[in-house]
Structure 1
Amino acid sequence: MKTKKVLVISLFVSIGIAGSQLDASEKQVMAEKLSPGERVTIDGVPNEPVWQRAPKGAGFIQRNPNEGKPGTEKTLFQVAYDNKNIYFFVYAYDSEPNKIKAILSRRDTYTSSDWISVSIDSYNDNRTAFEFWVNPAGVKRDLIRFDDENRDANWDPIWYCATRIDGAGWYAEFKIPFKELRFPEESVQEWGLQVYRHIARKHEDQYWTYWSKNEVGWVSHYGTLIGLQNIPRQKRVYIFPYTLGGAKVSRELSTSIHPEKYDLLSNIGCDIKVGLTNNMTMDMTINPDFGQVEADPGVLNLSAYETFYPEKRPFFVEGNNIFGFKLGIGDGFLSGNSLFYSRRIGRAPQRDVSDDYSSDTCLINQPEWTTILFAGKISGKTKRGLSLGILEAVTSNEYAKITLASGQSRKEIIEPLTSYSVARVQKDYRNGNTTLGGIITYTHRYINSDKLDFLRDKALTGGIDFTSLFWNRKYMIDFALAYSYVHGSKYAIRLTQESSARYFQRPDADYVSLDTNRTFLNGYAGKLAFGKIAGGHIRAAIGGVTASPGFEVNDLGYMREVDNIIWFTWLAYVETTPSHFYRNFQINFNFWSAYNFGKEKTTDGGNINGHIVFNNYWGFYMGSELQLPGISTSALRGGPALWREKSMNIWMGMVTDSRKDIYGDISIKYYTGEDGSNSFGTQLGITARPTQNFKLSLSPRYSSSLDTWAWVTHIEENGNDHYILAELKYKVAALQMRFDFTITPNLSIQFYCEPFLASGKYTKFKEVSNPRARNFNDRFTLFSDKQISYDAGENLYNIDYNVNGDVDFSFDNPNFNMRQYRANFVVRWEYLPGSILYLVWTQNINSYSDNGYFELYREMKNLFRESPHNVFMIKLSYLLNI
């Protein structure tokens, strides 16, 4: 709806928290070095001599369900090492071994199984850890913890593990090559260490080193691993060549010019990982392919803003945390604001030649994505606490091929050769309690065609950030400041000034102006927050975020809109001590106020929300938000600011115990505004696990909305601006389905699909007449039946102001019916460690019409009546471990 949701901070601790608590734990364990010639066989049996003499770590403490109490089942572990590997043996004793839960799933999939993990802070910086998980079925997970509390689960190192179950419990034996870790080159090493055990049937979490839920941090509470000496420098060179073959298959590919219903596909490429030192790594990818990556879900976007999609491509996902530079706060839409958004690299080509050529007279073939010729990054951390990340990527010129009916063909450029550069540094101080960092990004498009002069050719951004914990790590300060500079042709910079991020052309904005002779634009943005984030029941924060009108980062970053100054306050009550009724709960209060740089207040608002976990491990959450009346500077998309009425959102939901073989969740949202707008939406999720290696998930969602002043178009006629709005009734229905079938931990089958349906019907067309009028009916002039008429032949609405029979202007019928189907079927076989075979089938169906009516059966029938676009692919990669 029209409510401009400026900020929702339901849990402020999303800020990256630095730090180390000096007295967090004094636990130590000694690593035993293997004797010359001694070997460890990874089989889950501790029969090697080293396991007879290595000291054992013990004393595991619960954080759940009974915080601070000893674990109900005994857990021990040992550590050993040689010149190439570090070994762990974990003894997970169990008084009821027949109840040990061993779920078979694909690697890196978390399930409600029993688990054991070892987490190694080999930098010994109290902020970073390399973590290795295994369950009794032998399923492996791995992740990197960073900034003490955050984590990146997309890291995929090469390591080995074996598990075994007997009458006394279960056991896990780990072999982790030193080349997969990062550590300083010193003769004597001291590392942070945490060992964790999860007992599924009891919902019990045991940790070797314990810390209270009222304390912040994660890695900063690790114990110490001692005894590591004279580890030689590790040679780390991994080469992953790949080859693929396949075909696109669709009836729509067949034309008089191209009679075949298929196009063959082939490609080769290579990924390379090189250890420059024990703590610095270089990653490179040449001509990468991401065909096995799951498609983005369907989205209905009626706004002028770009939809934010998460990164899913392995090269960019792994280690992406190093390059993050957030300018947002909280979990509202401002949380996505960042100087680096990796999906800009390899984006869809930005020129569409279908506007210049008719598909009725020629065949247009243009790529969906820009080819990445090369991408490389260097990342790591020095022993003095300096984190470094450098990324460089080059994408190719992209061309559309136009084949005429005569058989002649030509190429039209649709995206220029482009280089992307990012450099990120961070330095730890005060044992990690304080961090200071900086970032620079640069985009250079090599534009050599006038047809691409709408694109900016250069974009530079830079920023500094600072985070500090103090007063026993209970309080924090979070600060960031950024600058941007973009350059391009007069046309490109005019489009930048007119974009939905700022709308310099607004006629009532006297503090900005549209300059059609400009060839650059610059600006700044920042955030500052102070808060209490630990200790006792009370949490709180105050702060602000801002972005000047000229700030622009969307060449390599992400930001929806600028020209704002937002102040916020957050207050929360937190309870982590269980009672006879609940396990924990939290209540949040949020308030915010926003202005533009013309000193006009755009909004005031607030919400209250909370969540609770009951003793049966079901959860419930709900909230309500009030948005006070204000102005919207973006509603008329470059027109004057428009007054909007007060509105309210209400949401609630429930989740069930995910340990069960069948579990689910449900959510409900409702919106109402004083202008008569309203919406209702609900989503249901059901997951069933009929066997230990098969999972089926269904997630239907539905929403129905009424928008009393939906945007239609802007028309300039005889020097007059007409901003046309209407009443819009729209509905969305979708169903996500997926199943996972795991044959072994290294062989799995996954299927995902989503039919997505959306329709919108526009009525009661009106023109904005007095945009700041407080009364809704004074703000708009409704077209009478004599003034507006529909031309079915041309599919246009005609406006006759004076009812004299002459058409003053026309606009297209805005009604829509959007139908999509996305499906991925992937067989993944890791036939050797790091070497993978993929069999992939993807299917896309797109269908559009403009009657605007929604009837589920008819829309589904119309969707699957369309010709599908199928892609079949075989991809083989092989690890060369040099």
Structure 2
Amino acid sequence: MIVRIPRATILLFGLSTLLVAESAHSQPAQKTARAVRIAGPVPRIDGLMDDAGWTAAVPIADFVEKLPVEGADPSFKTEVRILYDHDAVYVGARLHRPDPLNIPTAVTRRDGTSNAELLVVSFDTYHDRRTAYSFGISSGGVRSDYYHGQDSQTDRQYEYEPIWTAAVRVDSAGWTAEMRIPFSQLRFGARDQAWGLNIQRAIPDRNADHYWVMIPRASDQSGWSSFFGTLEGIANISSARGIELVPYVAADLTIRGNQNPKNPFDQKFVGRAGADLKAGLGTYLTLDATVNPDFGQVEADPAEVNLTAFETVFDERRPFFVEGNEILTGRAQSFLGRPTYFYTRRIGASPRGGASGDFVNEPRNTTILGAAKVTGRLPSRLSVGLLASVTGREFGEGYDSTTGLITRSAVEAPAGFGVLRLQQEVGRDQSTLGMVLTGVRRGVSNAGGLDALLARDAVTGGVDWRLRFQEGKYELTGWAGFSRVAGEGAAIDRVQRSSARYFQRPDADYLTYDALRTSLSGYTASVRADKNAGRLTLWGIQVGVESPGFEINDIGQMARADAIDFNADLQLQDTKPNRVFRYLRVGHSVVGQWDFGLDRQFLRLNQSSTFVFRNFWNLGLGVGYAPRAMSNTLTRGGPYMQTPDGWNVQARLSGNQQSRTTWNLGASYRRDELDGSATSLSAGITTRPGPQWEASVTPRYTRSVNAQQYVATLGGGSAATFGRRYVFGFVQQSTIATQFRLNYAFSPNLTVQGYAEPFAASGRFYDFGELARARSFALRTYGVTGGTTIARQPGGRFAVTDGPASFGFANPDFNLLSFRSNLVVRWEWSAGSTLFLIWQQNRSDLLPTGTLVSTGSLWDATSAPGDNFFALKLSYWLKAK
């Protein structure tokens, strides 16, 4: 019998064989270094390198230059020695330099950047050739530390803050550095160790980078830890963490601006105490727990004007949620704005309900009663992340000035949050398979109408994969997931009608809107292929879907469901320096999205270029084009509306980022066929007038015209728009803002940081009209289209007539002034123990004028009414064996 094998099967088998064969190609012989166990007294960490124990260590001196000349012998000699005892690993280094008086010694707070020289030692303690811990010390004595969760040098998680010590000294031969890194601050497997190792010396004033293992920019493999050499000799040690306890006390005072003597809530003082606990669960897992945690934001979120229906996503800065959360948040899952299963700022967010009264007092954040997480990596190469958190019921207060009574009402329901994440590493190329499961359970009730605002239950989950071939040169990534939310009919109705899906759209015949529904389910899936390394070309291609019912915003974050996505990109690069450029890249990409009715939401064709000149200046250029599309969101629950075709250009230029003074310039311009446009200008300069000072100014200006700005939805429309009037207008918007930063470091452990951002924005609306018919961008402009008139009334509202019908809407013009600032004194008075003193201002004023803003508006913003917030926090690190 003859068996016919499909050609596609033969092709697939051949491709798989080729990839496997290529991935089996061995790398060049790896370097090897040896750590020596200390036989006598341990070195004093004073930076002198004069302890006798260092002479027993074998020096590591065979460094290779990466910049400015790749592969050349280093301009300065570097020698590094590694020792260890039962408690810690010790690193000592002699960094030679013939002109020691020219060594920069800039001082910043921990993890700060500067133009000082830098020594970075990276350990792949699991020897998995994927993850690594990096410890740096600058010639100014500033420590830096970060964790590489993926096989990438630029994947740096600065939230990792271990307790370790280091010191430096500058002398006639250059400078010396000593580090002591306790094993309790690392994670590794067996008692006898072979670690991955790499060492970097950065010399910014010479634009030089030296590595023990130098990874060529034009390498056919992609990676960082996978290229490391091997550190041998470490034996009979334990990574048992013991118990670390950090109790704290804190207090804050809020003083409101424009105080009213009748308002009993103008001043508010709050005192609190709590504790954080960190403990080793055996060798491989770590428990982090917190009771009554202090989750204050040290820096205010930037100001903005959001005229869309979608939320703004801000970075997480709260220590408990950022430290060691790579495994929980699963950063590698995010492409094309894909959903994030766990968005940490959902826990402890501002309450969704509101109090009523002549004056109200509402909590800024939901109280987190307690939280705990378990993270780690098992010998089977399985990474584990588990988090649980409980938040309390929140109440707002309302004051009735007539009766003098204060009433309390629930503004947020108690809730429990849970996240489980597993990731298994497979194969020699560090491929991974993962899963995630999240859940939210709320104690909603009809008190305060919270049962109509919040879902009672929300469950999400999924699987993901990252398959690497040929040492990471090629990757196949993807995921598949599900979601389900349940609750009272009114709460699920809000989910159906939210901006993520707009189930109520009258012409979306592929959707089923049910106002009585008590649950909603959905799914998502995506697959992507990439070529990540190569001499000349890089590429990627991806497709993905999010069903209309997919919803993860109870504990995750997503902007839109009901989407079929596609993107592809091709990058052409030249990594070999020539007489003009050190590096150049030209990229082409196409990004598109369709809904489940197969109407194109957008299609963007982009070209971008990056040029790095011989003097390390960087020039970026870009141009893009978007043809007409059909938006299902512009009418905010109404029918489809067409969007115009348009184009954009952009440019950015920056100087040498290793200089004492760095700068950048940016400009962009966009225009569409409806005469919509946007011009943006930005700049930035950062300078170090002295070793302990750092100052920066970052101004930006935007002026735009949007021809399709939603205003309101009213009744009485024609059959062409399903009986509703969807009112739009042109809006001329201008924004001007400047961020100022001024930092002073008394020492790396005692710093003062100042931040201020005056912000001004205006919006002037004109040429109001209503959508003429679904699936078009034509408007029936009031006062222009026959039979219509529009007039502005003394109170500011607009009155419109359309034949016999009359209606109106509020004046949407605005001028917003905002001034946000904070002054933070941070003192690490003992290892792991800190004192924070904080003063924040939040000033704002909103006027319905629409007057074009100018630079003088920034000064006006500083005198806008607002609140002052003062805070103090003292924490103390305790270590128990």
1:731 counterpart residue number:
734
Q: Which amino acid counterpart does residue 423 of structure 2 have in structure 1?
A: Q
2:877 is aligned, of 857, 865, 879, to 879
Report what 2:3 is aligned to: none
User: Quick one: which amino acid aligns to residue 706 of structure 1?
Assistant: V
Counterpart for residue 53 of structure 2:
50
AA at the equivalent of 2:113:
Y
Asked if 1:38 is matched to 2:41, the reply is: yes
Q: Which amino acid aligns with 1:285?
A: T
Residue 783 of structure 1 deviates from its aligned partner by 5.7
Using a 3 Å threshold, how does the CA distance of structure 1 residues 24 and 837 change in structure 2: closer, same or farther?
A: farther
Q: Distance in 2 between matches of 1:141 and 1:327?
A: 24
Q: Distance in 2 between matches of 1:777 and 1:416?
A: 44
Q: Which one of the candidate residues 60, 65, 70 is aligned to 1:62? A: 65
Q: Is 1:266 paired with 2:271?
A: yes
Whole-angstrom CA distance in 2 between matches of 1:47 and 1:780: 84
Q: Does the alignment pair 1:426 with 2:444?
A: no
Q: In structure 2, how many angstroms separate the alpha carbons of the residues matched to 1:437 and 1:170?
A: 45
Post-superposition shift, 1:720?
A: 2.8
Aligned to 2:101: 98
Within the candidate set 183, 207, 211, 2:211 is matched to: 207
Match of 2:751 among 748, 751, 754: 748
> Given residue 729 of structure 1, which amino acid in structure 2 is its aligned partner?
Q
Residue 376 (structure 2) pairs with residue 373 (structure 1): no
Tell whether the 8 Å contact from 1:351 to 1:452 is kept in structure 2 after alignment: yes
Change in 2 beyond 3 A, CA 1:867/1:779: closer
Shift, 1:130, TM fit: 1.2
- Does structure 2 conserve the Cα–Cα contact (< 8 Å) formed by 1:770 and 1:778? no
* Deviation per residue, 1:244-274 (Å, 9 max, x gap): 223212344443252x853222111111111
Moved more, 405-414 or 593-602: 593-602
Q: Higher relative CO (CA 8 A, sep ≥ 6), structure 1 or 2?
A: 1
Q: Which runs of 5+ in 2 are unaligned?
A: 1-22
User: Partner of 2:418: helix, strand, or coil?
Assistant: strand
Partner of 2:17: none
Q: Distance in 2 between matches of 1:72 and 1:510?
A: 69
Distance 1:56 1:661, change over 3 A: closer
Quote the Cα distance in structure 2 between the aligned partners of 1:194 and 1:520: 52
Distance 1:226 1:780, change over 3 A: farther
Alignment of 1:686 onto 2:708 = no
Q: Is the 8 A contact 1:547 1:563 kept in 2?
A: yes
**How far apart are the structure 2 equivalents of 1:339 and 1:227?**
42
Task: Show CA shifts across 1:774-822 (max 9, x none).
Answer: 7x468999567962222223x32122222x5xx6322111111111111
Find 1:403's aligned residue among 392, 396, 399. Answer: 399
Corresponding letter in the other structure for 2:604: G
Q: Once structures 1 and 2 are overlaid, which stretch shifts more, 88-97 or 612-621?
A: 88-97
The answer to whether residue 221 in structure 2 is matched with residue 220 in structure 1 is no
**2:711 maps to which residue?**
712
Distance (whole Å) between structure 2 residues aligned to residue 125 and residue 313 of structure 1: 29
Q: Is 1:461 equivalent to 2:460 in the alignment? A: yes
User: 305, 309, 317: which one pairs with 1:312?
Assistant: 317
Structure 2 counterparts to residues 491-530 of structure 1, below 5 A: 491-530=490-529
- Counterpart of 1:830 in structure 2 is 828
In structure 1, what is the Cα distance between the partners aligned to 2:338 and 2:170? Answer: 45
Report the secondary structure of 1:639's partner residue.
coil
Residues 722 and 767 in structure 1, CA contact (< 8 A), matched pair in contact too: yes
- Corresponding residue of 1:677: 676
Structure 1 CA distance for aligned equivalents of residues 581 and 486 of structure 2: 57
> 2:481 is matched with which residue?
482
Amino acid at match of 1:589: H
Match of 1:114 in 2: 117
1:364-416 Cα shifts (integer Å, max 9, x gaps): 10011111111111111112211001111111111101122222221111111
Pair 1:758–1:599, CA change in 2 (3 A): same
Determine which of 315, 319, 325 is the counterpart of 2:330: 325
2:25 & 2:43 partners in 1: Cα distance? 36
TM-aligned CA deviation for residue 328 of structure 1: 6.2
Between the aligned partners of 1:627 and 1:241, the Cα distance in structure 2 is: 55
For residues 441-499 of structure 1, the C-alpha deviation after alignment (integer angstroms, 9 at most, x for no partner) is 11111102251022111111101111111135321101111111111111111111111
Corresponding residue of 2:800: 799
Letter in 2 for 1:407: G
SS of 1:491's equivalent in the other structure is helix
Equivalence for 2:14: none
Correspondence list, 1:781-792, <5 A: 782=784, 787-792=789-794
Q: 1:348 aligns with which of 334, 347, 350?
A: 350
Q: 2-side partners of 1:20 and 1:559: how far apart?
A: 39
Q: What do residues 6-48 of structure 1 show as CA deviations (whole Å, max 9, x unaligned)? A: xxxxxxxxxxxxx99852552111111112x522211122333
Describe the shift of the 1:233–1:559 C-alpha distance in structure 2 as closer, same or farther (beyond 3 A). Answer: closer
| Residue of structure 2 equivalent to 1:9 | none
TM-aligned CA distance change 1:403 to 1:784, over 3 Å: farther
Does structure 2 conserve the Cα–Cα contact (< 8 Å) formed by 1:568 and 1:590? yes
Please say if 1:547 is aligned against 2:546: yes
Partner of 2:8: none
Matched residue count: 847
**Which SS does the other structure have where 1:770 is aligned?**
coil
Query: Do the aligned residues in 1 keep the contact of 2:783 with 2:789 (CA within 8 Å)?
Result: no
Shift of 1:84: 0.5
Please, what TM-score do these two structures have when normalized by structure 1? 0.93
Structure 1 residue 846, shift from structure 2 partner:
1.4
* Displacement of 1:154: 1.3
Query: Which among 787, 810, 816 is matched to residue 812 of structure 1?
Result: 810
1:245 equivalent in alignment to 2:242? no
2:440 aligns to what? 443
**TM-score, structure 2 as length reference:** 0.93
Structure 1 segments (4+ residues) deviating >3 Å: 19-22, 251-254, 325-330, 776-786, 857-866
Per-residue displacement from partner, 1:492-550 (whole Å, max 9, x unpaired)?
11111111111111111110021112111111112211122112201111221211111
Specify every segment of 5 or more residues in structure 1 that has no aligned partner in the other structure, as ranges.
Answer: 1-18
Amino acid at match of 1:874: L
**Secondary structure of the corresponding residue to residue 507 of structure 1:** coil
Amino acid at match of 1:153: Y
Are 2:580 and 1:581 aligned?
Answer: yes
Once the two structures are overlaid, the 10-residue window that deviates more, 826-835 or 317-326, is 317-326
Q: Per the alignment, do residues 109 and 130 of structure 1 end up closer, same or farther by CA in structure 2, a change over 3 Å counting? A: same
Q: Structure 2 CA distance, aligned partners of 1:25 and 1:880?
A: 44
3-state SS, counterpart of residue 709 of structure 1: strand
2:44 and 2:332 map into 1 onto residues whose CA distance is 49
CA distance in 1, matches of 2:706, 2:138: 50
Cα 1:21/1:675, change in 2 over 3 Å:
farther
1:598–1:786: structure 2 CA closer, same or farther, 3 Å change rule? closer
Q: Which region of structure 1 is more displaced relative to structure 2, 24-33 or 687-696?
A: 24-33
Letter in 1 for 2:362: Q
User: What is the rounded CA distance, in whole Å, between the counterparts of 1:388 and 1:517 in structure 2?
Assistant: 40
1:154-173 Cα deviation digits (max 9, x unpaired) = 11110011111111111111
More off after superposition, 854-863 vs 298-307: 854-863
Aligned counterpart for 1:29 among listed residues 21, 29, 33: 33
Secondary structure, counterpart of 1:447 in structure 2: coil
Task: State the Cα deviation string for residues 629-665 of structure 1 (Å, max 9, x = none).
Answer: 1111111111111112211111111011123232210
Cα distance in 2 for residues equivalent to 1:135 and 1:419: 43
**Structure 1 residues 257 and 500, CA, compared in 2 at 3 Å: closer, same or farther?**
closer
